[in-house]
Structure 1
Amino acid sequence: MHRNFIIVLCAILLLGNFSCSRKPIDINPINNNPKDSTTTIVPSKFLKENNWIYSQMKKYYLWEEAMPAEAKTDKYLEPIKYYKSLINDNQDWFSYMKSDKNDVLNFWLGTPVGYGFRYKTFKPDPLKDQIFLAISLVAQNSPAEKAGLYRADIIQKINGNTITENNILTLLAQPNIDITWLNTSNEIKNANIAKTGYKVKPIYDFRVIETGKQKIGYLAFTQFLHEIDPELRAVFGYFKNQKIDDFILDLRFNPGGFTPNAEVVGSLIVKNLNPNEKMFGGHMNKNQTLEAQSKPDGNKDGRNWTNETFNLNTLNRVFVITSKSTASSSELVINCLKPHMEVILIGDNTMGKSVISTIITDETGQLPLVLMPAYSTLENSRGEAIYARKEGFIPNYVVQDDVLPYYPIGNLNETLLKKTLQIINNTITADVIDANHYKVNFMDRLHHYDSLTPFVSN
C-alpha cells in the first residue's frame, strides 16, 4: 500500500512542575492541553498522468465496464503500475503500456530501433545460473546482420559478462554492446553492435519447394505492416504462376500488426474468394459502439474479404507454422480461413490474442506515454474465436523446435519446415538428431526481441 504522505503534528504532553511537598503525585495527571492534529495530504506527483490514463481507458478499453471506479483507484501508483491496476486480468493478457511512445510507434510501423535479433534462452548447465541466447532470427539489414550475426549463433557473453536471468534485460537495454558468440563452425566471434533504426522486411523468405510431383509454396512472414501489399501480391502472383499444389505460411515469428494487411494476406489464400462476403467482425465497448453507430456507416457488420487478382483460390487446405510468438493479426488470418478451408497448424500454441488493440498517445504532446489496450473483439464469419484463451490455437501437430544449432529459415532440414513437408507428403518419420546437433530445454516458449517485447509493459 502506498503512503499518502500524511504529516501529523502532535502537541507534546507536558507534565508540569513537580512540587517538593509530600503531597502524593497523581500518576494519571489530567492533561489540560488539547491534542492538536493537523493532516496535510500531498498530491500524487503522477496525478496528471494517471488522470489521463483513466480517462483514455474508460473511453476506449474493451472491458471498461470491469474497470474499478476512479475514486477507488490509487493515483499514487507509478503510471505503468496504475495502468496495470485497471486491466481485466481474467480476459486480458496482452494490453500494455510503455513510457516512451516512440518505441511502440516505431515498432508497429516496422522501423524499430534495436539490434535486430530474436532469441530463445537456455542454460548450458541446468545447475548453474548462466544462460545462453540461441539466435532464432536476424532481421535483414539490421545492426546484428551487419555485425555478422546469423540465425543459429549462440550468444554466450555480453560486455564480457556471464548472462543470467537477473542481468539479461539490463545488458540488452544498453545503447551498444559487445557480444561474444559461438557460430555454427564452432568459432568464437566478437563484435560491438549499436542500437540503430532499421526497416523490417516482413517477407523474410519465399520459395517453391518441389517434392516428387508436388509444388509447395512457402512464405515466412514476420510482421503485418502497412504499404507492403504490392510486395505480397507479387509473391502470391509468383505462387499462382507456379501452380502450387499446397501452401505453407510460416508465422512463428509474427506478433501481428496492421489489420488491413492481414485482410489482404487472408484474401490471397482463402478458397473461393468472395469480396462481398464478411471476413470478420467483433464488438467494442458501449461508448465506442454508440459513437460508431452515430456515423454514416456505423451499422456495417465487420470487414469483408478484399478483391485479390492473385488469390490462390483452388487450394483445399493451408499449412501454418506457429509458435507462442504467433499473435493477433496472425491468429486473425488463421481464424478467418477456418470456415472456408482446412487449416493445419504445426509447431506450438499461439498467444491467444483475439482482439484488435489501439494505440493511444497524448494529443497535447505533454505526456510521452503510450497505451495499447484491447479495443475490439475479433470473430470470424461464423462468430467464432476459439483461440480467445491463454492456450491460443492448439496445433494439429505439436512439434518442439528445440534442436540446435538451427538450420536457416527455408532450409528443407529446418525442424518445423521438415516436419510440415513430411505431413504434406504423408511420410512422417521419427526424428533423428545427427552428431552435429543437440536438444535443449528452452526456458520459455517465446522468440524474444532484443529490445522490444510486444504485449508486455516495461
Structure 2
Amino acid sequence: MRTSNAPRRQALPLRLLSTSLATLFVLAGCGGGGGSPGATVSATPPASQQPPATTPPATGQQSVYDTNPSLLGDAFSNYWNLCAKPRTGVDANGKPYPDRQGSLLDELKFLRAWTHQNYLWYNEVPNTYRMADFSNPIDYFDVLKTTALTPSGKPKDQFHFTYPTEEWDAMQNEGVDLGYGLTFSRVGSGVPRTWIVTAVEPGSPADAAGVRRNDMLMRVDGVDFVSAGDNASVDIINAGLFPSSAGTQHRFSFQRSGAQFEVTMTGAEVRVDPVKNVKVIDTASGKVGYLSFETHNAVSEKELVDAFTTFKQEGIADLVLDLRYNGGGLLYVASELAYMVAGPAATAGKVFDRLQYNDKIGSDSPIMFRSTAYGFSAPNPVAAGTALPYLGLKRVTILATSGTCSASEAVINGLRGADIEVIQIGGTTCGKPYGFTPVPNCGTTYFSVEFKGVNNKGFGDYADGFAPTCQASDDLTRAVGDPAEGLLATALAYRTSNACPAPQGQSSARQLPTQLVRPLVKEIAIDRRSR
C-alpha cells in the first residue's frame, strides 16, 4: 500500500471560524483554528477583503532570520518535528509520532525556512514580521505569503491554509469527516447570510434528521444565523456548525418552501462517499454515462475504477462528469481520471500536468497520464500497478460551478492539452492552477503554494477560471443526477443539438453558489502531488 503525501491541488471549502479568528480566513473547512480552510462568520470583513498587512507589529525585536531568511538556508529539516509541545504515542497508522522536544521558535524557524525554500512566490513574502511577536505557529504561517494582488484586485495567493494533521489524514485516507454530512452554498459573504444546503451525505446525521437539498439555514442553537453579528452569537453558531468532537448535539432551524422546521443533529465521524450517482442514461442517440465526483482523495481511486469499469461494460457513447462540488485533491487521481476518459491512444507520452516550481527548486516535474493505479492507502484500495479501464472518448461533458477547483480544473486543462474536447456546462470554475505538497509538523499540516501546473501544450493561465460552454444554474430543487436537474438537463440538451438551450427561467432554481462551504473537506486540498 502507498501512503499519500504527494503534490496536490486543492482549494478547500470554506468553514466558519470564530470572530477572534476572522483574520485567519482561508479556503477550507476544519476545526481547530487559524488558517483552516473555511468561511468566516464575523462582524469584520474576511481577510481576502482586507488590505494586506505589510508593516510589522509595534513590539518585539527583529532577528536576523526575520530580515534575512536566506541565513536559514534550505535546512528546514534541521527544525522539522522540533515541537514546543511534542505529541506522544502513535498515529492512526500505529507509527510513533516523530515529534522531539523543541520550542516555539524552532517551529517558527521551520516555517520560515521551508517557505523561503519552497514557496512559489518566496521572494514576495514580507520580511517585516518578527517571530518574537507570534505566540503560535499558525498565526505566523498565515503571514508567510505574498501580499500581491491580481489585476482584478484579488489576493494573488488565495490558497494558504492549515489543517490539524489528524483530521487531514482521516479525510484523505479514510474519507472521514467530523460533522453532520452537510454541504452548503453561500450567497455573498456578509449579513444577511444565505446558506443553502446543496448536498446531504446518505446515512449521515443530517440525512437521518430529514435535512434535504435546497433547505436554507435559519438558526443554530437558538441564535439567528441569518443576521447575528456579535461575537457571542457567532461563537455559538460556530460551535454548533462545527462540532469539536463526535457525540455533541446541536439544534438547527431550516426553511423549506417558506416554512421553518427544527431538527437536532449529533456530530459524528461521517464517511464521505466521493463518487456518487453512477448511472447509464439511455437516449435516442446512445447510452450516456453519468457520475458525480466530489473529491480527489485516496478513497476515490477504487470508486472511479469501479465506475469506469461499469461504463465500459455498458458500452457508453458519451460521458457527463459532474464536478460541480469537487474542490480538488490528489493530482495522481486526477491524472488517472483523465486517462480513463481519454484512453491510451490520445494520451500516450503526453503530460497531464507539468509542475513548475520556483527558481530554487529548478526543474519542472511532469505528471503523465497514469494508465495504472497508484494504489493509495484506503479502506478499499486498488492494488498498485493495476491497469485502469478506459473509454477512449474524443469528448467529455463536465458540469462545473465556482466550487469546481484545483485538481478538477487540472482534469479540464489536462484533457484539452491532449486534444480531448471538453464541453463545460454550468458556471466559471474557481481558478486555481496552483498546488502544494501537504507538510505536517507538530500536529499541524501546512498547505503553501509550491507550483503552478500547465498541460501538455504548456497552458496553465486560468487564474480567473474556465468559462462554461453553456451557462446554467445549479437547480437545487432537484436531486443531483436527476436528468431534469438544470445542469444535467442542459448537458443532455447540448448533446442533442450541439447548441446551448434557451434558459428555462425557473424561479425555483437557485443561482450558482458564490462559495461552497463544507465543515470539513473531502478535497480537499491533497498523494502524489496535490491540487
Q: Secondary structure at the match of 2:176?
A: coil
Q: Secondary structure at the match of 1:257?
A: strand
Q: Secondary structure at the match of 2:116?
A: helix
Q: Aligned ranges for residues 91-170 of structure 1 at < 5 Å? A: 92-98=156-162, 100-109=164-173, 110-122=175-187, 129-164=191-226, 166=229, 167=234, 169=238
- The answer to whether residue 354 in structure 2 is matched with residue 281 in structure 1 is yes
Distance change in 2, residues 1:400/1:136 (3 Å): same
1:310 shift after superposition: 2.3
1:214 shift after superposition: 2.4
Contact 2:349 2:368 in 1 (8 A): no
Distance change in 2, residues 1:281/1:155 (3 Å): same
1:141 shift after superposition: 3.1
Distance change in 2, residues 1:135/1:46 (3 Å): same
For 1:240 and 1:117, locate their aligned partners in 2 and report how far apart those are by CA, in whole Å: 32
Distance change in 2, residues 1:120/1:335 (3 Å): same
Contact 1:255 1:325 in 2 (8 A): yes
For 1:440 and 1:222, locate their aligned partners in 2 and report how far apart those are by CA, in whole Å: 20
> Which residue number in structure 2 is paired with residue 447 of structure 1?
516
- The answer to whether residue 398 in structure 2 is matched with residue 320 in structure 1 is yes
Distance change in 2, residues 1:156/1:429 (3 Å): same
1:94 shift after superposition: 3.7
Distance change in 2, residues 1:252/1:439 (3 Å): closer
Structure 2 segments unaligned to the other structure (5+ residues)? 1-55, 62-102, 151-155, 373-386, 526-531
2:125 pairs, out of 37, 56, 67, with: 67
1:99 shift after superposition: 6.3
> Which residue number in structure 1 is paired with residue 430 of structure 2?
351
Q: Secondary structure at the match of 2:479?
A: coil
> Which residue number in structure 2 is paired with residue 438 of structure 1?
508
1:5 shift after superposition: 6.1
> Which residue number in structure 1 is paired with residue 477 of structure 2?
406
2:487 pairs, out of 404, 416, 419, with: 416
Q: Secondary structure at the match of 2:290?
A: strand
Contact 2:338 2:369 in 1 (8 A): no
Contact 1:101 1:370 in 2 (8 A): yes
For 1:210 and 1:447, locate their aligned partners in 2 and report how far apart those are by CA, in whole Å: 31
Give, as a single letter, the amino acid of the residue that structure 1 aligns with 2:121.
Answer: W
> Which residue number in structure 2 is paired with residue 23 of structure 1?
none
Give, as a single letter, the amino acid of the residue that structure 2 aligns with 1:245.
Answer: A
- The answer to whether residue 320 in structure 2 is matched with residue 248 in structure 1 is yes
Q: Aligned ranges for residues 1-400 of structure 1 at < 5 Å? A: 2-4=57-59, 47-69=105-127, 72-75=128-131, 76-77=133-134, 79-90=137-148, 92-98=156-162, 100-109=164-173, 110-122=175-187, 129-164=191-226, 166=229, 167=234, 169=238, 171-175=240-244, 176-183=249-256, 188-270=260-342, 272-289=345-362, 301-307=366-372, 308-313=387-392, 315-339=393-417, 340-362=419-441, 367-387=442-462, 389=463, 391-400=464-473
Larger Rg: 1
TM-score, scaled to structure 1: 0.76
Deviation digits for residues 390-410 of structure 1, max 9, x if unmatched? Answer: x21111222233x5x520011
1:287 shift after superposition: 4.0
Structure 1 segments unaligned to the other structure (5+ residues)? 7-44, 291-298
For 2:347 and 2:191, locate their aligned partners in 1 and report how far apart those are by CA, in whole Å: 55
Distance change in 2, residues 1:95/1:438 (3 Å): closer
Q: Secondary structure at the match of 2:117?
A: helix
Q: How many residues align?
A: 390
Distance change in 2, residues 1:411/1:47 (3 Å): same
Give, as a single letter, the amino acid of the residue that structure 1 aligns with 2:514.
Answer: R
Cα RMSD after superposing both structures: 3.0
Give, as a single letter, the amino acid of the residue that structure 2 aligns with 1:144.
Answer: A
Contact 1:280 1:336 in 2 (8 A): yes
Distance change in 2, residues 1:193/1:377 (3 Å): same
Contact 1:60 1:288 in 2 (8 A): yes
Contact 1:141 1:199 in 2 (8 A): no
Q: Secondary structure at the match of 2:414?
A: helix
Distance change in 2, residues 1:408/1:2 (3 Å): same
1:303 shift after superposition: 2.7
Distance change in 2, residues 1:83/1:284 (3 Å): same
Contact 1:214 1:245 in 2 (8 A): yes
Q: Secondary structure at the match of 1:112?
A: strand
Give, as a single letter, the amino acid of the residue that structure 1 aligns with 2:120.
Answer: L
1:318 shift after superposition: 0.8
For 1:233 and 1:99, locate their aligned partners in 2 and report how far apart those are by CA, in whole Å: 29
Q: Secondary structure at the match of 1:338?
A: helix
TM-score, scaled to structure 2: 0.66
Q: Secondary structure at the match of 1:87?
A: coil
Give, as a single letter, the amino acid of the residue that structure 2 aligns with 1:54.
Answer: R
For 1:83 and 1:285, locate their aligned partners in 2 and report how far apart those are by CA, in whole Å: 19
Deviates more, 1:93-102 or 1:405-414: 93-102
Give, as a single letter, the amino acid of the residue that structure 2 aligns with 1:423.
Answer: Y
Contact 2:297 2:524 in 1 (8 A): no
Higher RCO (CA 8 Å, separation ≥ 6 residues): 2
Give, as a single letter, the amino acid of the residue that structure 2 aligns with 1:135.
Answer: V
Contact 2:60 2:130 in 1 (8 A): no
Distance change in 2, residues 1:439/1:239 (3 Å): closer
1:359 shift after superposition: 1.0
Give, as a single letter, the amino acid of the residue that structure 1 aligns with 2:461.
Answer: I
1:445 shift after superposition: 1.0
Give, as a single letter, the amino acid of the residue that structure 1 aligns with 2:414.
Answer: C
> Which residue number in structure 1 is paired with residue 91 of structure 2?
none
